[in-house]
Amino acid sequence: MKKILITGGAGFIGSHVVRRFVKNYPNYQIFNLDALTYAGNLENITDIEKEANYTFVKGDITDEQFIANLFEEQQFDGVIHLAAESHVDRSIEDPMAFVKTNVIGTVNLLNAARKQWANNSEDKRFYHVSTDEVYGSLGAEGLFTETTPYDPNSPYSASKASSDHFVRAYGETYGMPYVLTNCSNNYGPNHFPEKLIPLFINNIINNKPLPVYGDGNYTRDWLFVIDHAVAIDLVFHQGKNHETYNIGGFNEWKNIDLVKVLCQIMDTKLGRNQGESEKLITYVKDRPGHDLRYAIDANKISKELGWKPSVTFEQGLEITIDWYLSNKEWLNSVTSGDYEKYYETMYS
Ligand code: NAD
């Protein structure tokens, strides 16, 4: 029985990864370590909480002693590290929180794994989950490849870039068996409604303004979260040691075009006249240091590991919107309390 530590498994992507591993690998004991910050929610994984091969551990990756003790007690065979502060806008308000969790937290995990695997790192693996935002901004042309130089522009992407560098450095310096992936924007169920797609779904439901940054021409590649979880599974099991893989949806959208599509689908779902939700679009002051365009070349993972997205954007959006419409309790509970204060600060 292998022991696998997944960090951040109560968050958006982590919840889908934990579910996949618990359900598909009964021969693994899955430990989900999460501090349950505002972004972590055990409601995301109630369906697996009673599974025999699943254990939840509440804890903070910035707590060096706690992490050292946990590794000592459990003797993990693998780590899939997703825990992070993940929202660019929050990183602009409070960069140090991002340094603590994304950089120091990652180094704490690396140190504990290094100590534990010092004498035998065979069949061990440290999987670091990262973002395409580390590559900076593209012009109208070109794609990020695995060899694109890092050029982060936000405190969030700088902290993720730093953590990526630490992972690679531990590979070179100490022989840490690692794999690393840089993925584009995810969307899907369980996404906290501070990020574009769930924020807009929630605001359309509640007839609130849809705040579009700048002129709306910022361009992102979008990937359905379950396809990201499948890619993580593949890379964890079949990726080559010390390799990086880019993951993306081959699916670029200008923010304003994406918002308009969302409005159209939501009008249909909510029985509103076409064009009604679009009236909620409000252009707001741009985010400082905003990257113009991200686009991923995901050919390496496709060619080497046979991965490709399983749903079209239209199918993924449909599943996502249906999920939010039938999980109003989830939506209401995560958008009350602190979220209201956050929302006021950001958009009032
Ligand atoms: P999220 O914010 O939804 O979830 C993060 C989780 O980490 C939460 O459950 C939170 O409670 C936990 N966490 C935060 N700080 C912690 C700490 N100090 N100790 C333990 N747990 C802590 O994030 P997400 O969108 O699911 O992203 C997961 C990972 O994937 C991150 O590393 C992120 O950089 C990366 N990523 C995200 C995207 C995306 O589009 N969301 C794209 C590419 C890569």
Which amino acid type is present at position 177?
Answer: P
Name which residue sits closest to atom 13 of ligand 1, judged by CA: 83
Question: Mapping DSSP to helix (H, G, I), strand (E, B) and coil, where does residue 119 land?
Answer: coil
pLDDT digits (tens, 9 = 90+) for 115-127: 999 999 999 999 9
Under DSSP, is residue 327 helix (H, G, I), strand (E, B) or coil? Answer: coil
132 in active site: yes
Angle ∠(12,51,238) on CA atoms, nearest 5? 60
Counting from 1 in the atom list of ligand 1, the atom nearest the Cα of 38 is 11
ipTM score of the complex? 0.99
**Which residues of the chain have a pLDDT value below 50?**
none
Based on the number of CB atoms within 10 Å of its own CB, is 340 exposed (0-12), middle (13-18) or buried (19 or more)? Answer: exposed
Which of 6, 32, 37 for a ligand 1 pocket mutation test, highest count of atoms within 8 Å of Cβ?
37
DSSP reduced 3-state for 185: strand
Phi, psi dihedrals of residue 143, rounded to the nearest 5°: -135, 150
Task: Considering the domain delimited by 196-219+254-305+313-336, tell me its CATH architecture.
Answer: Alpha-Beta Complex (3.90)
Select from 89, 323, 95, 100 the least CA-distant residue to 198. Answer: 323
Q: How far apart are CA 292 and CA 140, in angstroms?
A: 9
Q: Is 54 a catalytic residue?
A: no
CB within 8 Å of 314: residues ≥ 6 apart: none
The backbone torsions φ and ψ at residue 279, rounded to the nearest 5 degrees and listed phi first, read: -65, -15
| Closest C-alpha among 217, 199, 229 to residue 89 | 199
CA 115, 118, 124: angle at the middle one, nearest 5? 95
Q: What per-residue confidence (pLDDT) applies to 287?
A: 85
110: which 2 tokens? 């690396």
C-alpha 163 – ligand 1 centre gap (Å): 13
**What token pair was written down for 292?**
């113009």
Task: Domain ranges for the chain, please list them.
Answer: 2-187+221-247, 196-219+254-305+313-336
Distance in Å, CA 12 to ligand 1 centroid: 7
The yes-or-no answer on residue 156 being catalytic is yes
pLDDT given for residue 348 in this prediction: 76
Residue 276 Cα to ligand 1 middle (Å): 34
Residues with CB under 6 A from ligand 1: 7-8, 10-14, 34-37, 39-40, 60-62, 82-86, 101, 105, 129-131, 160, 183, 185-186, 192
Interacting residues of 33 by C-beta distance below 8 A, sequence separation 6+: 5, 6, 7, 8, 9, 57, 59, 61, 70, 83
Given the residues 133, 221, 252, 291, the one annotated as active site: 133
Residue 1 has what pLDDT? 87
Q: How far is the CA of 102 from the centre of ligand 1 (A)?
A: 9
What is the number of the ligand 1 atom nearest to the C-alpha of 185? 40
Q: How far apart are CA 190 and CA 10, in angstroms?
A: 9
Sign of CA dihedral 184, 188, 194, 198: positive
Q: What is the pLDDT of residue 21?
A: 98
Give the pLDDT confidence of 128-178 residue by residue, as tens digits: 999 999 999 999 899 999 999 999 999 999 999 999 999 999 999 999 999
Q: Which fold has domain 2-187+221-247?
A: Rossmann fold (3.40.50)
pLDDT in tens, 3-27: 999 999 999 999 999 999 999 999 9
